[in-house]
C-alpha cells in the first residue's frame, strides 16, 4: 500500500511533488529522488533497488564510523547491520526509511567530529522525514549534558539547517493542517498507528534486533527483550566517551517519540529506524568483549528473524498484485471503505472500476467485491457491512490475500 502510494506520488511532476501531494504527510526529498529513478523503470525490482542502494551505503558508513570508535569495531558492526532483519526489510521497501537511516549514520559522526557538513546533513534529514528533528534534538541533549563548549557551534549548525528547511515550511503547515481532520474519515487511526508507552521501548528494541517477526512464543520474546535491555542498561552504567554518544543517539529519540505520541500518535519502530545503527554499534562492542557468546546469539537471532521473514508470506509485502490479478480474471466492481481507491488499485489495475462506500447507495450493482482493507481505521464497527446486507446483498464468498486481508464477494 505505502510503496504503491510512494510510486504514484513520485510519478508526479516536480512542481506537484513540492506542492500538490494531497493526503501525504512527508517532506519531499525521497519523492524527488524516486521521481528521477522512475524515469529508468517501473518494475518492483527496479524500484526497490533505490532503497537497497541506501541500505548498502549505510553499512559502509557505519563501518567507517565504527572504526573511528575502535579500530577493531568496523567489521563486526558492518556485519551485524548487514544481517540485521529489520535493516534488511526496510532496505527493500520503496520508502524513505533506508535513506533516513543512512543520513542519520552520516549525521552523528559529523556531529561528533564537529564537521562543517553537519548542518547540510541535518537539513537533508528534515527533508527526508520529520522524525529527523528528533535526531537533531538528541544531538542538542548530548551537547548540553556532555559537551557544553560546543553549544554555540551546535546552535549555529542547527540554525543553518532550519534556514535550509524554511522553503518547505508552508507545505509542512499545510500538511499538518490537513492532518488535523483525519479523525473524521479514519476514526480508528490513533489506536493503530502508535504503540502504548508500556510496550514501546521493549518492542522497539526487540524489532531492531529480531526484525518484523511476531509469530514466536512469548517466552522467546521475553528472552530477546531481557537480553537487549541488559546490554543497554550495562552500557548506560559503563558509558564513557564515544559510548555516551551512542546511548544518546539510541535513547533520546525513543523517549522523545513516546512524549510526542501523547499529542501526535506516531511511535512505531520503523519511524525510529535511524537509531538502529547506534544499537548495532553497542552490540558490536559487546561482541568484541565477549565474542563467542554474543556473536553466536546475535547470528542465531538474525537467522531466525530472516528465515521467518522470507518464509512467511504474512510478514512480507501485501499481495495487492495477486489480489487484483484475481479480480481481473473474475471481474466485478470493487467497493472500498475509503474516500478513494487504494493506491495499489490505481498502480496495478487503473482500468478496473472502484466505488467508494459513500457512493455505494447510488450505485446499481448486481455484484461486487468489498475490500475489508483498513476497516479497523475507517469502519471499526462494520456499519458499512450492515448497510450492504440491509440493501439485499448476500455474501457469497470471502477471499483472503496476505496483507490485503479479506475481500468479500457480494451478489444480489
Sign of CA dihedral 335, 341, 342, 343: positive
Which of 158, 65, 58 minimizes the C-alpha distance to 108?
Answer: 65
What is the pLDDT, as a whole number, of residue 122?
97
pTM of this structure: 0.87
pLDDT 10s digits, 315-353: 777 888 889 999 999 888 899 988 888 888 888 888 888
What is the pLDDT, as a whole number, of residue 258?
83
pLDDT 10s digits, 204-216: 888 888 887 765 5
What is the pLDDT, as a whole number, of residue 58?
98
Sign of CA dihedral 20, 23, 29, 35: negative
Rounded to 10°, the helix 97-113/242-261 angle is 130
What is the pLDDT, as a whole number, of residue 292?
84
Q: What percent of the chain has pLDDT over 90?
A: 41
Beta-ladder partners of 356: 336
pLDDT tops 60 at residue 69: yes
Helix (H) / strand (E) element for 130: namely none
Question: Beta 367-371 vs 405-411: how paired, if at all?
Answer: antiparallel
pLDDT tops 90 at residue 281: yes
pLDDT tops 60 at residue 27: yes
What is the pLDDT, as a whole number, of residue 54?
98
* Residue 81 confidence class, pLDDT cut points 50, 70, 90: very high
Q: Where are the domains of the chain?
A: 2-315, 320-411
What is the pLDDT, as a whole number, of residue 376?
78
pLDDT tops 80 at residue 138: yes
Q: Work out the burial of residue 259: count CB atoms within 10 Å of its CB; fewer than 13 is exposed, 13-18 middle, 19 or more buried.
A: exposed
Please report the DSSP string for 55-91 in residue order: HHHHHHHHHHHHHHH-TTTHHHHHHHHHT-HHHHHHH
* Residue 4 confidence class, pLDDT cut points 50, 70, 90: confident
pLDDT 10s digits, 83-101: 999 999 999 999 999 999 9
- Average pLDDT, stretch 296-310? 88
pLDDT 10s digits, 200-250: 777 788 888 888 776 555 555 565 556 555 655 555 555 556 788 998 999
Amino acid at each position: 500500500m505505502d510503496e504503491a502510494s510512494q510510486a504514484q506520488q513520485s510519478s508526479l511532476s516536480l512542481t506537484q511533488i513540492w506542492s500538490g501531494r494531497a493526503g501525504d504527510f512527508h517532506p519531499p526529498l525521497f519523492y524527488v529522488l524516486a521521481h528521477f529513478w522512475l524515469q529508468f523503470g517501473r518494475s518492483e525490482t527496479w524500484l526497490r533497488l533505490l532503497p537497497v542502494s541506501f541500505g548498502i551505503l549505510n553499512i559502509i558508513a557505519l563501518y567507517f564510523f565504527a572504526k573511528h570508535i575502535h579500530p577493531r569495531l568496523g567489521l563486526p558492526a558492518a556485519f551485524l547491520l548487514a544481517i540485521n532483519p529489520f535493516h534488511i526489510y526496510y532496505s527493500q521497501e520503496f520508502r524513505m526509511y533506508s535513506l533516513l537511516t543512512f543520513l542519520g549514520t552520516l549525521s552523528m559522526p559529523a556531529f561528533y567530529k564537529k564537521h562543517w557538513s553537519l548542518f547540510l546533513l541535518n537539513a537533508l534529514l528534515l527533508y527526508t522525514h520529520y522524525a529527523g528533528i528528533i535526531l537533531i534534538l538528541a544531538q542538542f541533549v548530548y551537547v548540553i549534558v556532555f559537551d557544553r563548549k560546543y553549544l554555540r557551534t551546535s546552535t549555529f549548525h542547527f540554525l543553518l539547517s532550519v534556514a535550509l528547511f524554511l522553503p518547505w515550511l508552508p507545505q509542512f503547515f499545510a500538511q499538518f493542517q490537513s492532518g488535523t481532520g483525519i479523525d473524521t474519515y479514519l476514526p480508528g487511526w490513533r489506536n493503530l498507528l502508535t504503540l502504548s508507552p508500556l510496550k514501546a521501548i521493549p518492542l522497539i528494541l526487540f524489532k531492531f534486533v529480531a526484525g518484523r517477526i511476531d509469530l514466536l512464543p512469548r517466552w522467546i520474546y521475553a528472552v530477546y527483550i531481557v537480553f537487549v535491555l541488559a546490554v543497554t542498561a550495562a552500557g548506560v552504567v559503563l558509558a564513557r566517551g564515544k559510548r555516551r554518544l551512542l546511548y544518546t543517539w539510541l535513547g533520546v529519540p525513543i523517549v522523545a517519540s513516546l512524549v510526542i505520541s501523547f499529542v501526535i500518535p506516531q511511535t512505531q519502530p520503523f519511524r525510529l529506524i535511524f537509531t538502529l545503527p547506534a544499537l548495532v554499534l553497542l552490540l558490536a562492542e559487546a561482541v568484541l568483549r565477549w565474542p563467542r557468546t554474543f556473536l553466536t546469539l546475535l547470528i542465531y537471532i538474525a537467522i531466525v528473524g530472516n528465515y521467518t521473514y522470507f518464509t512467511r508470506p504474512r510478514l512480507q509485502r501485501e499481495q495487492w498484485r495477486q489480489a487484483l490479478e484475481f479480480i481481473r480474471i473474475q471481474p466485478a466492481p470493487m467497493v472500498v471503505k475509503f474516500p478513494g481507491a487504494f493506491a495499489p488499485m490505481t498502480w496495478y489495475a487503473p482500468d478496473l472500476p472502484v466505488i467508494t462506500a459513500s457512493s455505494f447507495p447510488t450505485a446499481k450493482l448486481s455484484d461486487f467485491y468489498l475490500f475489508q482493507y483498513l476497516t479497523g481505521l475507517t469502519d471499526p464497527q462494520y456499519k458499512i457491512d450492515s448497510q450492504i446486507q440491509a440493501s439485499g446483498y448476500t455474501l457469497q464468498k470471502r477471499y483472503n490475500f496476505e496483507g490485503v486481508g479479506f475481500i468479500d464477494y457480494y451478489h444480489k
